Structures are given as structure tokens and as C-alpha cells.
Structure 1
Amino acid sequence: METIPFPLRPTRGHPALDPLALESDLRAAVEGEVRFDDTSRALYATDSSNYRHTPIGVVVPRTLDDVVATVALCRAHGAPLLSRGGGTSLAGQCCNVAVVIDWTKHLGRIEAIDPVGRTATVLPGTILDHLRKEATQAYQLTLGPDPSTHDRCSIGGMIGNDSCGMHAQMAGRMAENVESMEILTYDGLRMWVGKTNDEELNAIIEAGGRRGEIYAALRDLRDKYADDIRGRYPHIPRRVSGYNLDSLLAEHGFDVARALVGSEGTCATILRAKVRLVYSPPHRALLVVGYPDIFEAADRVAEIDKFKPLALEGMDDGLLERARRKKLHVDFLEELPEGGGLLVAEFGGETAEEAADRAREVREILKREKGLVSSKVFDDPVHQAHIWAVRESGLGATARVPGMPDTWEGWEDSAVPPERLGDYLRDFRRLLDRHGYDAALYGHFGQGCLHCRIDFDFQTEEGRARYRVFMEDATDLVVSYGGSLSGEHGDGQSRAEFLPKMFGKELVEAFREFKGIWDPEGKMNPGKIVDPRRVDQDLRIVTPRWLPTTHFQFPEDEGKLERAALRCVGVGLCRRHEGGVMCPSYMATREEMHSTRGRAHLLFEMLQGQTLQRSWRDEGVKESLDLCLACKGCKGECPVHVDVATFKAEFLSHYYEGRPKPRLAYAMGLSMYWMRLARLAPWLVNALTQQRALRAVFGGIAGVDPRRKIPTLAPRSFTSWVRSRPRRRKAAVPSPKQVVLFPDTWNNTFHPESQVAATEFLEEAGYDVIVPRGFVCCGRPLYDFGMLDTAKRMLRRTIDRLRPYVEEGIPIVALEPSCASVFRDELRNLFPKDDEAMRLSEQFSTFSQFVAREKLEVPELKMEAIVQPHCHEQALEKLEGERAVLERMGMSYRVPDSGCCGMAGAFGYEAGRKFDVSMACGERVILPDIRQLDRRAFVVADGFSCRTQIEDATDRRSLHLAEVLRFAQRHGPSGTAAAYPERIAENERTSLGAPLGRRLAIAGAVGGIALLALRGAWRGAARA
């Protein structure tokens, strides 16, 4: 195991820790999962902060009894302990040399909601949005604090960090929303804590025992430091730094639960929490006001606070510019009013009119004062969601901005009195300038909290020294304003070192005593808040030790794999349980290693070569990447565009170098070659693959799951149809409009009717449609198995084939989105300095993009449709073309928030776990939706994988957008010619029959080849 950065010394009679013995005892006692392997330890070595500590091991408990057993065994072995929620902490409090308890997989249950008492009792792993959704739908109640990670952060983590978020404006921070908690101390005491009146307090102390001892010590601590607490604690809305010793004061009810909120797991383990719910106004309106700069905007905060908004946020023009550069919410940005500094105030009401009237009232008052540049009121929920999306993307928008230095957390959430925020921001900007740093400014301005990421240099010794000097000055500045080092994210390792400046030595000693009362052995998340490690220790932002040569060139990361692996900032958007494309394998498994974040962290750890070996043969990394569907959802939705699909292809190319690949790699990875052979006699191939017994034989040889059907080949390929088609009569004046229709393997072989429909539609639009002769292919399946040498050769050959069209500037259109994405994405990454490749990439588009971009006339069709987007098109192009065409057609359509269908090329075919994950992805949303769809409605899916998954799992057949357009041209706006439109397309498909003479001529040859291939495969399988 890796050498840990500080030794686990013997304590209180415990010998030095033996991880192997601890692991063995845990496995015997815990029903859940015990993971002490290097891969699991590497996965949990960091959170969303700048720090890295490799844990001793990880426990994923199934029950609270598992947690109790884990704590007991850690105590017996003298092992430090750390509770972890979503792992999105920004100050380093969620990584440590300890046994990590991950609550989020199994212990995320809402036990009770009391609408009368307005409380909810939950287990620590409960995701915030799950509670909010259930409480709001049933009772119009909500938990007020809502960090921007609300769709994946756990309530236990929120309690540990004393989280706040936008709506802490109306409800206060987490400490003000916890009623009571069931806790477990390191020495085994299990009890409920909350407010305690004097009578109860005396009774507890008189009862004696460990509980009485703790309460007596807390009472004495309060009495000893009461004056210091009242005098030194800042009286501001966002004081998150330090322990909540003020909750022990008599005027606050000696609230032991709230004293433990924000303790970052350094005192006790939370088992359950009863949290306060507040009324959630059913209707909202946003007032967005623009000022010349962020400083003048901040000057108006106190005035707007008087109107009691539900939230009051601030953003400067630097944040918006960075979002534009990253193409984040570009359309939404256009909705914002002008101004160098914006304030976003939310108001609620029982009706939409009441909320909007309140916003307009405040707007009119603000107009009377000087300085207002512009303002808008948004009363439509859709537009409001857009505005909040812009604000919530703050961290992602300011990290990894093209053309700008990288930015990091470290000083990202200071807080001051709201009425002094404007002056603080001016001084803070001067401080940044003096140190040569830059940052966009945004945050929870209504409560005086500032967020920012700063372009620190952690790579060099000089840069780290400069960072330390800045932290000294920044902490001095915020203390001079009567503020808090942390206004939301806690102290962790980022700020705890500087707590004496804010609280004084006496109160820091009180913190030490407070922790000692609960954790006398110092084993609960050591090195945080009390006796902290230095702010510039244990930084993970260092140059990796291994810099391997790669196939992909990573042009957006200075050509460096190690820089690409460092993209992940750990915010965990990939850990959502629903919504969006990213990350389908995490949604199916709820495993950290199968999230985008987990995979990026493992790749980083592999390059570091500390916990994991510096080798492309690392089995843990392989296992993590194995369930990646290569959907590219991460590249499209991750705020910093982590590209795991590329990581997977690169890794597999080296992993299999010099050794055999799985059978499926040869069957599916080289499918473009097999399909060329199969097109010689599709009816014979169908006869061999569509019979259940033969299908099982062929599938078993190829490594295909027996539950998966093998697609049926069309009677005739599209290219064959083109060759035998009567030539169109040439017009007197040749059309100046030409388009190349790319004959991708999947539509050409399985769905030629789609390409026929596209051809006829484009010809109707006045285009000469060119279909390249010879073999052209993008090689998409090759990437799934890391066959990158073959993929590069295939792309080179295709570039040569398409060169004449590229030189003439003729647009090239593909019906298959995954093929288009190769030319729009992989081609650029493999050949970034090849001008021909770049020109080809620019001229390539999907069919829907081309129709939308060229504004081609489309027929009207007043019918309903459900649309399953291909992941690549959704990730890279946001489905803009598809939506534009369908809207111009006048169709009533919906796009379920289903994410990946689960097929993902070869992924859904592979026997075993991948098939199960594939079906779990599909069954989340899209497959049940289609089964309930009216038979007269269209199922639109452009991707071959999506169409195959739908056909396999439902009794419906989906259509390509080209078929929908051609259907509308033929059957009119109401489609009255057919009650079941998919049957029309099926008839057109089967009508593309191969000539009888040709079938007879090649039947014998292909049959012989098939038999020989089958015999050879059987012999090979027997030898294997």
C-alpha cells in the first residue's frame, strides 16, 4: 500500500494499525461492501478540493447496524474514521487517511415526513432533491438550504458542512434547519441530541455514564467560553467557519444537534437527522437587475434584502464571459439584461400574478435610484430555470476556460455583512490585482457570501509560496470586515489553519476541547478544523510522474493526457440519479467507479503512480472504464467537459496491445468488414442468425448475450439501390446545389429505407445527391475496443475518398449521428494539425443539422411523436437540428429526459453485466414511455443503436427523421394514409429486394464461406 502522509501511531493501548486485519474483521461483521483494494482507495483519495489523501479503505454499509459495526471495529483497531456523502466538498474535509464510510449507495432513505410539525426524518445518504421533491409534491414543503449540487448532494454531507445555497436566504443555513440527530460517538455511545433545557440538562448529567459525561463537559465548556463566543463570533448570516459553539449558549437552548452541524465529521457519526421543512411558495418570479459593475450591484444588496426575497444572487460580467467562451447556456445568456454586475432576486406568491407583482414592485423602486442600467422580470418557469442554470453553473463556467489560465478553489466562499459587501468586493479585487491573480465574482450576495475560483499556480514551488502569501492577506481582509473565512463550504484543510485570526487563540482552544469531548482519541476525520494540516500541504495539483505517449492528441489540453485527466473538478454532476445523459452507468449501478468523476480520478491516479501502478494494464482502471457506454454525455454535460469516451478508447488501445482482445471485439469492432460480406447474401445471413438455435450458436461464438437479438439485414443495401437506380434526367441547367450523403454501414445495411428517404427528400429540395463509391467508413465500432491504429488508417482512407468533395466545398451529411460524431470529434482529436482533416470535420454534419442550417422547406405534419435522441448528437450538438426541424413541421413532440437508451453500439450486445446495465438504462425512462405510446404516434430515433434497443425491447419500430419528412411529403399534414406510420417504412424497407439472379449466383459461395467460418470459429473456441 502507498505510504501515508502522516503515520497512524499507536494510541491508548492500540498497536500500530494493521489494515489487513481490519479489513478481515470488517468483512466478517459488515453486510455491506468492504473495499480495501487499491482501486477503491484511489477512488476516494480526493473530493472536489485541491487535496489528496489516500484512505485506509472504504465501507459501503447496507444498514445502520453496518455503520455501528464499522465504528466499533475502527475503534478496536485504532483506525481513523470519515463519513462521506456526495464527495463534493471544496475544502478537503471529505478526503483523509481513514476508513471512509460512503452513505449514498444504500442509506439514502426518507423515513418520515411530518406535515403538521413540518419536519422530515432521513438517513444521511438521502439526496437533497429527493426529499425536496417528495415534500413539495405532497405538502408544498421543502428543506430550505439548497447548494448548487442539490440534485446529488446528500443531507448528511450538508449537515457535516453546514451547507447553505441560494435559498438559505429564506430559510437559513443547515444549522438552522436541523431539529435533532441520532449520533454515534467513536467510543460507541448512540443517542439522540437536540435542544436541551436546564431541567433536561441536569437530569442527563445526574444520570451519569458516557452521555452524562459529555453533557457535563459541554456545559462547562459553554460556561468557560460564553463571553468569548458572544464577543468573537461574527453576527452575520453566513458564518460557517469553526464549530457552532454559539448553539450551546443559553439563549440558543443548549442545542447539541446544531452545535455538531458543520463539524465536518470530526466529532461524531450521524445516523439519522430530523430536519425542519419550510413552506415553499408554489409560484415564483425573478427580478434581474443590471448595474455598471459588480461593486455597485453589491451596494444595492441591503436595500433589496428589505423586501425579503427568497433568494438574492449576484454575478459579474466575468462569469458570463467565461460561460460564453465555454458555450454554456449561450441561449440563456441572451435573456439576461445588460450590465457589468447582475443581481437576481426571487420572490414567491400563492399565484403567479402575486409573485410577478412583487418583483415588479421592487423593480419600480430600484428604478428611482441612480445606477440601474437595465432590468427584467421573468414570470415564466422555463425562463426562470434558464436563469438559475446560468447561476448554478458558476463553478463549471469558471473552471478550464479556453484561452485562460486554470482556476482553483482555495478561497472561494468568504462572507461578510451584506451591507458591507460592495466595499469588500472592491478591496478584494485590489487584493487580487496586487497578487497578480484574476477571478470572476459571483455568489449569494443577499447573505454577503462571495464565490470565486482563482488562477493559483500549484505546479511550481514559487506558485505555491505565492498562494500562501495570498491566503494570509485574504484572511486578514475578511476578518477586518467582521466576516467569516467560510460562508458555505467549511474549513477543511483550505482555511482551518487561519481560524486563530478569526476567532482568537482562546476560542481555537475551545474548538480543541469541544472535539476532545466527543472524540478523545482524535480519530474522527483528523487534521480538519482542529490541529489542521497546512493549507499548502497534500495538494493533488502536481505534475504526474508518468507521461505516456498517446494516440489522441488532446488539442484542448495542450496535447497532454495528464492535463485532460485533471479536468475533473469533482462537483459530481455525473452522480445524478436522474436527468440528462451523463452518466448512464452510474445511474444504473450507483457506483462511484462507474461515474465520470470516478473514472477521471482513477486515470489521474494511474498517471500519478502512487496508489495505482503506472501502467496501461491496471485492472481497476480497466474495470471502471469497462462499463462506460462511450455515450459522450460527459463531454456534453460535464461543466468542464471531461471526455471519458476518449479516455476509454485510449486506455483500451494500450491495454490490449500485444495480447488478444475479447471475441466481441473481432465480431463487433470489425463489423464494418463483416457487413460488407453479409451484404452479398443478406437473406442467407438472416436465415442463419434469426433462427433461435443458430442465433445462440453464432452469438455464443461472438460473445453476444443470448438474450440479445441479432438485427435483421435489409434485403438490399442502400448503395446497391443507388447503383441500380435509373439515372435522373439531367436538367437543362444543372443544379448548383450538391450534397454528399455518407453511406454509413448501419443505415446502408440495416435501414436503407432511411437513406432512400433522405435521398428523395434532398432531391425534392433541389439537391444533386452524391453517394461516394467504394468503401467509406468512419470506423465508429473500433473505438469501443481501442482499435485506434485501425481507426486511424480507416480515417486516412476515408479522408482520401472524400477529398474531391472537401476541395469543392460540398457539404457531407450522415444519417447516423455516431458516424457524424467521429468526424466532428475523434477526427479532430487524432489529427488536430491536419488541414484536410479539419476541413472535412467542418463540412460534416448530421441530416437534421443540415436541414435546419440550410433552412430547407419541410412539409407540415400534424401528428404526435416521441423522440429518443442519440447520445452523441445530444452531447455534442444539443439536438438543436432535430428540434428545429420538428418544430417547423408543426409536430407535437416530446423528448423524454431519458438519457442514453443503453445500447451504445457494441455495449448492449456483450454477454453478462453489460447487457444488464444496457437494459437498466433503457428501462429507466424511454422503453416504458414507448410501450405506453399511442400506436398512431411516431417514435423518432436517428441512431441505429437506439432503434435496435427500441425494437428489441418493445413492439414498436422507430423511424429516422428523414423517414418522417418523406412520410409527410407523401401522406400530407395529417398522415391520413396510414394509421401506423412505421408500417409504411417497413413496407418500403422490404420492397428493396435484391435481384433474384444475383441471389442465386452468390448463394452457394456465401453459404460455403459461412460454413467454413463457422467451423473455424468452433475450432478456435474449443482451443480457447
Structure 2
Amino acid sequence: MNAAPLAPTALRARDLTEGDRAALLEDLRRGLRGEARGGRYDRLLYATDASLYQMEPVCVVFPAGADDVRHVLRVARQARVPVLPRGGGTGLSGQTVNHAIVLDFSRDMASLLELNVEERWARVQPGIVLAELNRLAARHALLYGIDPSTANRATIGGGVGNNSCGAHSIVYGKTIDNVLSVETVLSDATRAVFERLDGPALDAKLRGDGLEGHVYRELRRIGVEQHEEIERRFPKIMRRVSGYNLDDFVNDSGPMDLARMVVGSEGTLAVVTEAKLRLHPLPKVKGIAAVHFRTLVEAAEATVAGLEHPVSAIELVDDVIVTRCRASVGFKLLAAFVQGDPGGILFIEFAGDSEAEVVAKLEALDADLKRRGLGYATVTTTDAAAQRDMWRMREAGLGLIMSVRGDAKPVGFVEDTAVAPEKLPEFIKRFQQIVGGHGTTAAYYGHASVGCLHIRPMVNSKTREGLRQMEQIATEVADLVLEFGGSLSGEHGDGIVRGVFTERMFGPTLTNAFREVKRAFDPEGLLNPGKIVDTPAFGENLRLGPETRNLEPPTYLDFSFEGGIARAAEQCNGQGACRKFEGGMCPSFMVTREEEHSTRGRANLLRYAFAGTLPHAELTGDRLFAALDLCVECKACKSECPSGVDMAKLKYEVLAQRNQARGVPLRARLFAHVNTLARLTAPFAPLANLAARQGALRALVARLGGVHPERPLPAFAAQTFPRWFRRRR
């Protein structure tokens, strides 16, 4: 592993005094149409993503447009602190946390700007959620082909930063294959549009002044100089997203498309403010074969056979996901189709113009696998609802495996390897040997069709032995991937967790070339430094590590199942399923679009208070109470969070602790005894109802009872229910 100290700009950002931070916020707000926040709670809400890592930002900005982004870059440059673009915060490699000014695009820059049906493209802002774009495109029988399992909360900007893929990349490719152009703000706060250029237009860029012209010239030089090393070291597989995309710039003449360098750069080269995306026709009919296997290796062998058919997806889930799905309150019905206890299941999808065509493809696959003796059961369907349930099981895979209780978890640190699909059977065998050699097991799932598997060994990162185990497994897996000609990242990106292996994968020459690319775009180190190259150490900045020491106060409720109240909060792994806009979870986030009002945001704040990142006294404080207040205790998270976070139960307990420390508020007492109040008021009901409509009393009710003055109060009844009932006996 190779690690570097924090970049000077990130170090400065980490060590800002409160006075410096206040001055920075004042400078930001002075020219901003959007909003800037710098409170401790606001910062901590953006200190984590779905990865292992935690890095507290300087502040959070919600830009209202590209001019706001330019203003932030100007202020950041003057203050010498970094900027971090962020979408839904679902990154798994640590690329969306940093000591930096966070730009959250998901709230105010989340629109579809233009959709051209005839030419099949859409122009969008970076904060739009993939599922929302596809909902709008579906009205015209079109779709955006990138479909990660987080599509109902992940944003286009995050996908561009990651070079995301998804289940159907065998048909639609990676993000890089679907981006036609990007509008960006460069590190010097100038704007640049990157798209495919050739001829006089490209010549003008290569001769241009300023940072943009310098970038064009440097990319051409670096790519040409390194073309032999690129040919030698870059994996020859579809799912390579590690490193920078220098392989697109090896020719000394011909077209250049700098959008292809920005894609997958994790916010380290430019800030994307708009993207023009390629759209595809919606399939008319789809069908799935859920093929059951005794072992994962057999499933991998069947993947190779399945690829001889015109498939649109081959997805793998293992026995861990099936077991956790069956044990989940909200997801167990999704496993109703599963027959027996398979070691692995492949979801093999076909598309066509008619149901008869799709059925014929499914039957041909089934006959072929039976002839080869692969699989012990196959469930096929063209029913849309049944297919949706199968896909939901696959998409919930990460959350389901993370629903295990205790400190040992199937952690994501080698979860994105990619090899050629024909090498999968042997690769899985060797991977299992590595994991078993370290005395543990792993969960396996992913995109078998393109050889990209999300393998998560069970380890306890909260112990030093567990951390050593992680580092040893990661190192051995990195060597295994190189031996198989694969990529350490197939879609989740490098960030920190794989950035420490960049030199191991690409060698020192190309790693230095990547540094040159970074310096060409960002000579002052302002854009998300310490990702892809020159990253912090693997075991630094951990969200949960050997230093984690939790407060475990006596509780009113029984948290023995969760392992204590602190572990109940730690059950949130940051995947962000609560940030979706469908189903029941989380209603407060759906209304406010604020991280604080998501289950993830609340769980993180509670975790900080238990761990001492926030003072323990904050558990009964007003600021944490405000974060919990909009939780309506609907229990949707208990059933819809794949990891089983029960925020309502946590809120019950924290409010009880607060009331014990500070007394039960009058408002709570009034509502708790509303039946007594109604009984005592019944003889005077008409008078009470008249008084309740008067301004003075409404103001008093608002102040003491916390009821908004414009909310109609329920009318008191002149007759109580017991009295009414007795008269009818």
C-alpha cells in the first residue's frame, strides 16, 4: 500500500480555527444565491458516505447554479482550502468525504433541463436522481442505461464522478459511454465545456490561453508519452474504472474528448454543473430466469455459458443475501421464489420486442444449462411484478448483508474487483482461499455478466486485529486481481480504499502520469485532493475503528438484540436507502430533501453523540432534539431499510432520556392527557370551541402546545364516548 500525508489544502481545512471558518462563511455568503452552512451538526452530517471513512468538512454549500460554483471556487482558492462536489453521498470508496467545502447538488441543482426525444439525449443538472431522470424519460419510451442498485437515490453527478455502471452495462456500457458532454467549472473558477472536438475547433483549444488550453496540451502530451505504458498496464476488460482515463488520449493527432477524462475523476479535476447524456429505447418486453446453484463456482461457470446467449444482464446473489432476505421483516417476501438453499443464484435477463421472443430465449437458456448440468432449479417469469421483486432483492444486497448484528460486518474494502467473465470461476476459488486463509467468510454478489463482483469479507474494523486482517486481505486481493489481468475497481471508484493501491496496479510511471494529470487540471490542489493518487493511509480516518469508544447509557427499552443502543445507531452503514422518493421511508426527507431529516442523517448524529465526536450531553440537547423532531415514528425504516435501522425506537429512547434529564414538557403532558382534557371540557364544549377560534387563545396554544396557529383545532364533543355508549346498552 502507498499512502501520503494530507494534501496541504486539506490539512489547512482540517485545522481551521472557528474564527477562520466564520470569515470563510462570510465570504461565501457574500456572493451566493444558494445557501452556506457551517455549524458543527451541519458539517458532521457530511463527514461520512457509504464507505469506511469519516472526514469532517469545512462547511456545506447548496449551490443554486454554476455561478455559485464559480464563486465557491474563487473563495476556496483565496482561502487555500479544497472543494468537494457531492451528490447523494452513496460513494463506497471514500471519494465523497474530505476536509473541504462540500458542494451538495442534490437539493437545488437537480433538474432535467432539456430532453430531445428524436436525438435521444437529455441535458441535466448534477443533482438529479437517476430514477427521476428515468421516470421522466420513460414518458417518451426512453431510458438512461446506467442503473446501479442505488439508482433511486444516487445522482447523475455522482455517477459521472464514479464512472458508474450497473446491472445492464453489458448492453449500455459505463457512464463514460453515455456522456456526450459536460459543462464544468475548473479549479481557477473558469467555465469550460468538454465534448468531442476535432479539426479547427480542437486546434483552437490546443492553442488557447488560460487553464483550459493548458489542460488540452498537457493531456495530449501525457497520453502520447505514456502510450506504451498504458498499453502494457491498463487492464483489457470492460469494467476498468480505476485510475484516470489516459487510455483515451494516446494518439498524437485526431479528436479529443475531455469529458472522457472528467468521467471517473471523482471530483478531483473539475466540478460538473451540467451533463448531456445519451438515452436509449426502453425494452418492450423483459423476462428473467432465476437459476439456482449449489455453489458460487458453479454459478460462475454458468455465467460463462449464459454469455453465449443474447442476455441483457446476469446478476449474482449468494446464500448470505438469501438468508438475510428471509430474516428481514420488510424483505422476506422477496425470497418467496427461492427453492431450497442455494449457494448462489443468477438473475439472467433477456429483452425483446414480444413476449414470445423473450420466452423463447428463456427456454433456450434453460435447455442449454440443463444440457451442461448447471443449476438445480430455474424459476422463469415475464411478469413485471415478479421481476420487480427479484430485482429488489438484488438491489437490496448491500443493505441486507449489512443487516447482521454485532461489530463484525461484511465490510466494503475489496468489494469492487473486476476480471474477464471467463476467468470468474477460478477467480472466485482463489478469492475464497484468501478469505478462508484469514479465518473468515465473505458475502458475494454483483454483475457477473461483466466479471465485476462485490465481495465483502466479514471483519471487525473496531479492533486492531480486524484492521490488520483487512489490510492483509486487501493486499492479497490486489495481487490476485493483477495476476488475473483485472481491475481493483469495476464501478465504485478508487477514492481512498483503492487509491492506496493505484501504484501497485498501474506502476510508478503511470502513477506519476496520473499526478501530472491532476496538476494540469488542479495545480493548487483545490479539488478533492487525496483521492485516486496520494491518498491517506488505508486505516486512517475510519468511521468505525479501533479508537471507537461508545457511551452505553442505561436504557428504558431493551436493546439487547442490537447489542446496545450505540450499536443500534451504528447499524446505519450510510448506503442512503432512506433518501429515496418512493415507498414509505423517509417521509420527512421526501418533504425537506435535507440530510438531517433522513434516517441516515439522524443515525449518524446519534452515533457521533454516543462515540463522543459530539459531547455525550448532546444526547439530551436541543440541537439533536431538533434533528429527531420531524421523525414521525412511522416505522417505515424498520421495514424498508435493508440493514434494519429502527429510528423510531432510537427516538423513543432518546426522548425518554431527555425527559428524564430535563423534565417532561408541558406540550407532551397536554397531548398525553388529551382524553382527560376532553372529558373535563365536555360540559362546556360549545364555549370551549368558540374560545379555541379566538386569536389570543390560539396564540397561547401555539406557545404552550406547539400547535401552529393556522392549524384547525379539533372540536370538543359535548358528550363523552363512555356516556354515549352507556345510553345505548
Measure the CA separation in 2 of the matches of 1:315 and 1:394.
7
Deviations 1:811-853 (CA, angstroms, capped at 9, x unpaired): xxxxxxxxxxxxxxxxxxxxxxxxxxxxxxxxxxxxxxxxxxx
Deviation of residue 53 (structure 1)?
0.3
* Change in CA separation of 1:78 and 1:514 when aligned onto 2, cut-off 3 Å: same
* Change in CA separation of 1:677 and 1:692 when aligned onto 2, cut-off 3 Å: closer
Deviations 1:70-107 (CA, angstroms, capped at 9, x unpaired): 11111111111100000000111111000000000000
2:552, 2:566 within 8 Å by CA — same for their partners in 1?
yes
Which amino acid is the alignment partner of residue 482 of structure 1?
Answer: G
Partner of 1:376: 379
The DSSP-based 3-state class of the residue aligned with 1:440 is strand
Deviation of residue 323 (structure 1)?
1.6
Of 561, 564, 571, which residue of structure 2 is paired with 1:567?
Answer: 571
1:412 pairs with 2:418: no
Q: Which residues of 2 match residues 510-659 of structure 1 at below 5 A? A: 510-542=513-545, 543-558=548-563, 560-577=564-581, 579-610=582-613, 614-659=617-662
Measure the CA separation in 2 of the matches of 1:488 and 1:306.
24
Range with greater deviation from structure 2 (602-611 or 390-399): 602-611
* Change in CA separation of 1:470 and 1:676 when aligned onto 2, cut-off 3 Å: same
Measure the CA separation in 1 of the matches of 2:402 and 2:189.
43
Deviation of residue 361 (structure 1)?
2.5
* Change in CA separation of 1:641 and 1:234 when aligned onto 2, cut-off 3 Å: same
* Change in CA separation of 1:8 and 1:551 when aligned onto 2, cut-off 3 Å: farther
Partner of 1:41: 43
Deviation of residue 456 (structure 1)?
1.4
* Change in CA separation of 1:157 and 1:9 when aligned onto 2, cut-off 3 Å: closer
TM-score for the superposition, normalised by structure 2: 0.93
Measure the CA separation in 1 of the matches of 2:181 and 2:468.
43
Partner of 1:329: 331
1:500 pairs with 2:503: yes
Measure the CA separation in 2 of the matches of 1:128 and 1:596.
21
Deviation of residue 563 (structure 1)?
0.8
* Change in CA separation of 1:390 and 1:11 when aligned onto 2, cut-off 3 Å: closer
1:196 pairs with 2:197: yes
Measure the CA separation in 1 of the matches of 2:424 and 2:189.
45
1:235 pairs with 2:236: yes
Deviation of residue 585 (structure 1)?
0.8
Partner of 1:75: 77
Deviation of residue 49 (structure 1)?
0.7
* Change in CA separation of 1:292 and 1:545 when aligned onto 2, cut-off 3 Å: closer
* Change in CA separation of 1:681 and 1:593 when aligned onto 2, cut-off 3 Å: closer
Which amino acid is the alignment partner of residue 165 of structure 1?
Answer: G
Q: Which residues of 2 match residues 907-986 of structure 1 at below 5 A? A: none
The DSSP-based 3-state class of the residue aligned with 2:289 is strand
Partner of 2:436: 433
Partner of 1:364: 367
Deviation of residue 603 (structure 1)?
1.0
Deviations 1:315-344 (CA, angstroms, capped at 9, x unpaired): 222321122123453222121345432111
* Change in CA separation of 1:452 and 1:325 when aligned onto 2, cut-off 3 Å: farther
1:23 pairs with 2:25: yes
Measure the CA separation in 1 of the matches of 2:291 and 2:179.
34
Which amino acid is the alignment partner of residue 184 of structure 2?
Answer: I
Measure the CA separation in 2 of the matches of 1:342 and 1:705.
53
Deviation of residue 402 (structure 1)?
4.9
* Change in CA separation of 1:85 and 1:9 when aligned onto 2, cut-off 3 Å: closer
Which amino acid is the alignment partner of residue 579 of structure 2?
Answer: R
Partner of 2:685: 685
Which amino acid is the alignment partner of residue 170 of structure 1?
Answer: V
1:243, 1:262 within 8 Å by CA — same for their partners in 2?
yes
Measure the CA separation in 2 of the matches of 1:406 and 1:221.
42
* Change in CA separation of 1:11 and 1:471 when aligned onto 2, cut-off 3 Å: closer
Give unpaired runs (5+ residues) of structure 2. none
Which amino acid is the alignment partner of residue 565 of structure 1?
Answer: A
Which amino acid is the alignment partner of residue 285 of structure 1?
Answer: G
Deviation of residue 56 (structure 1)?
0.7
Which amino acid is the alignment partner of residue 196 of structure 1?
Answer: L
1:481 pairs with 2:481: no
Measure the CA separation in 2 of the matches of 1:439 and 1:325.
18
Measure the CA separation in 2 of the matches of 1:679 and 1:10.
63
Deviation of residue 362 (structure 1)?
2.2
Structure with the greater relative contact order (CA < 8 A, sep ≥ 6): 1 or 2? 2
Range with greater deviation from structure 2 (659-668 or 69-78): 659-668
Partner of 1:258: 260
Partner of 1:762: none
The DSSP-based 3-state class of the residue aligned with 2:536 is coil
Which amino acid is the alignment partner of residue 144 of structure 1?
Answer: G
The DSSP-based 3-state class of the residue aligned with 1:616 is helix
2:202, 2:255 within 8 Å by CA — same for their partners in 1?
no
Measure the CA separation in 1 of the matches of 2:59 and 2:16.
16
Of 389, 401, 417, which residue of structure 2 is paired with 1:386?
Answer: 389
The DSSP-based 3-state class of the residue aligned with 2:351 is strand
1:38, 1:612 within 8 Å by CA — same for their partners in 2?
no
Which amino acid is the alignment partner of residue 279 of structure 1?
Answer: P
Which amino acid is the alignment partner of residue 316 of structure 1?
Answer: D
Which amino acid is the alignment partner of residue 44 of structure 1?
Answer: Y
Which amino acid is the alignment partner of residue 682 of structure 1?
Answer: A
* Change in CA separation of 1:717 and 1:498 when aligned onto 2, cut-off 3 Å: same
Q: Which residues of 2 match residues 345-360 of structure 1 at below 5 A? A: 345-360=348-363
Which amino acid is the alignment partner of residue 87 of structure 1?
Answer: G
Measure the CA separation in 1 of the matches of 2:360 and 2:538.
48
Deviation of residue 43 (structure 1)?
0.5
Measure the CA separation in 2 of the matches of 1:466 and 1:340.
25
Partner of 1:176: 177
Measure the CA separation in 2 of the matches of 1:289 and 1:718.
59
Measure the CA separation in 2 of the matches of 1:400 and 1:161.
26
Partner of 1:1011: none
Deviations 1:35-90 (CA, angstroms, capped at 9, x unpaired): 11101111011101111100011101122211111111111111111000000001
The DSSP-based 3-state class of the residue aligned with 2:207 is helix
The DSSP-based 3-state class of the residue aligned with 2:455 is coil
2:144, 2:280 within 8 Å by CA — same for their partners in 1?
yes
Range with greater deviation from structure 2 (366-375 or 16-25): 16-25
The DSSP-based 3-state class of the residue aligned with 1:462 is helix
Which amino acid is the alignment partner of residue 557 of structure 1?
Answer: E
* Change in CA separation of 1:661 and 1:321 when aligned onto 2, cut-off 3 Å: closer
Measure the CA separation in 2 of the matches of 1:372 and 1:557.
37
Partner of 1:119: 121
Which amino acid is the alignment partner of residue 157 of structure 1?
Answer: G
Partner of 2:102: 100
* Change in CA separation of 1:51 and 1:714 when aligned onto 2, cut-off 3 Å: same
Measure the CA separation in 1 of the matches of 2:558 and 2:536.
38
Give unpaired runs (5+ residues) of structure 1. 727-1024
Deviation of residue 221 (structure 1)?
0.5
Partner of 2:403: 400
Count matched residues: 714
Measure the CA separation in 1 of the matches of 2:709 and 2:211.
60
Which amino acid is the alignment partner of residue 679 of structure 1?
Answer: R
Larger Rg: 1
* Change in CA separation of 1:161 and 1:479 when aligned onto 2, cut-off 3 Å: same
The DSSP-based 3-state class of the residue aligned with 1:249 is coil
Measure the CA separation in 2 of the matches of 1:391 and 1:477.
26
Q: Which residues of 2 match residues 660-739 of structure 1 at below 5 A? A: 662-668=665-671, 670-671=672-673, 674-676=674-676, 678-679=678-679, 682=682, 684-685=684-685, 687-689=687-689, 693=693, 697=697, 699-700=701-702, 702-712=705-715, 719=722
The DSSP-based 3-state class of the residue aligned with 1:441 is strand
Deviation of residue 595 (structure 1)?
0.7
Deviations 1:935-985 (CA, angstroms, capped at 9, x unpaired): xxxxxxxxxxxxxxxxxxxxxxxxxxxxxxxxxxxxxxxxxxxxxxxxxxx
